[in-house]
Amino acid sequence: MRNSSFALALLALCSQISSGTPLTKRQDLSDDDLTAKTNLFTVQGTIFPNQTDVRFFGNIPYAEPPIGSLRFRPPVSVKPRNETVNGTWFGPSCIQYSNGLPTVYSQYLTGFLLSPGQQTSEDCLTLNVWTPKGAKEGDKLPVMIWIHGGGFTSGGSASQYKYGDRIVRDQNVIVVAINYRLNIFGFPKAAALGGRNLNPGLLDQRKAIEWTYANIHAFGGDAGKMTLFGHGSGVDLYSYSYPFDPLVRAFIAQSGSASRSYSFDAAGSNFTYVASQIGCDTSGTSDAIFACMQSKPASDIIQVYNKYNSSLNNGAPLSFNPTPDDQVVFSNYTDRQQRGLFAQVPT
């Protein structure tokens, strides 16, 4: 374990909260109070349901839709838009993996899953912002950025357990929650990638944090007071991926660790199997297989993945999750610990 602690992160967060500019509560909100003008476009927000003092700005794009030739590729920064983004509710969540088998979450802890009726789509690279009602540009409030868990196969920011309104209601902070690509769409392990950029889902997280850093001022936040927190190993992985420019000044890793076992599939056999099941000629080059997979309906791709794993296949399911590429996932975390190659901020 690194020489840092959860307590230090909480201490850092508390100091950030105490340094936020006090807000003057307003009884009424004008249209201007429910809009935020970012560097790229204007976002129309709303008051979050069942709250009176929390504004919500959802469905905010931080990258171009990862479709067509951008499928399985690193995210591309969203372009400026001469329009107002409808941020009055969540955008679609990223495509989910589900083998249809019952789990403790589907049976007992449904609040951890996507909210009932929540749509999914490949066009999912959006984030959501909750702010105190009176927050405005210049208030420089601390910012908490949430990375959802789900084993890198499912989950999203639009689940009741992960709503940021309660934190905002009780603390003078801004909460940002992000979507990122999952399962085969976020971790394709395709041979055509040549061992590079194997984890676009993790690159999505970075792109969302970069967008927040550049634009959170429009919501009343301070880019110099950002804390990254979340379930799963995403937070710890991020700290090793960006040791010298994390953009955030504290981490709260609620579960999971980067020092875990990783599956290797250098030949891209799982990716090629899925391709073979949806009509791609797998006797050709890896580039041809990759291009074919980029052209197929996303629903066909995820159906093959789900169907194969629903039978358990004697304990050998298809696996699409973080893979060492020595860019954002590494094969030897002990070595990186010893050399101090991690973001040395309170954790």
pLDDT at 31: 56
Residue 95: what pLDDT?
97
In this predicted structure, the answer to whether residue 9 has a pLDDT above a threshold of 80 is: no
Report whether 142 contacts 219 (CB < 8 A). no
What SS3 class is residue 38? coil
Provide the token pair at 268: 């891209």
Average pLDDT, the chain: 88
pLDDT tier, 19 (very low <50, low <70, confident <90, very high otherwise): very low
pLDDT the model gives residue 18 = 37
Band (pLDDT 50/70/90 cuts) for residue 161 is confident
pLDDT for residue 274 is more than 80: yes
- pTM, two decimals, is 0.89
Work out the angle at residue 295's Cα, subtended by the Cα atoms of residues 294 and 299, and round it to the nearest 5 degrees.
85
User: 165-195 pLDDT, tens per residue?
Assistant: 999 999 999 999 999 999 999 999 999 999 9
Q: Are strands 174-178 and 250-253 parallel, antiparallel or unpaired?
A: unpaired
pLDDT above 50 for 63: yes
Give 289-315 pLDDT, tens digit per residue. Answer: 999 999 999 999 999 999 998 876 666
3 state SS of 284? coil
Q: Which of 158-162, 199-203, 221-225, 302-306 has the lowest mean pLDDT?
A: 158-162
In sequence order, the 6+-apart residues with CB closer than 8 A to the CB of 106 are 113
263, pLDDT greater than 90: no
Q: Are 36 and 57 in contact (CB under 8 A)?
A: yes
CATH architecture of structural domain 7-20+27-262+326-338: 3-Layer(aba) Sandwich (3.40)
Domain ranges of the chain: 7-20+27-262+326-338
Say if CB 176 and CB 145 are below 8 A apart.
yes
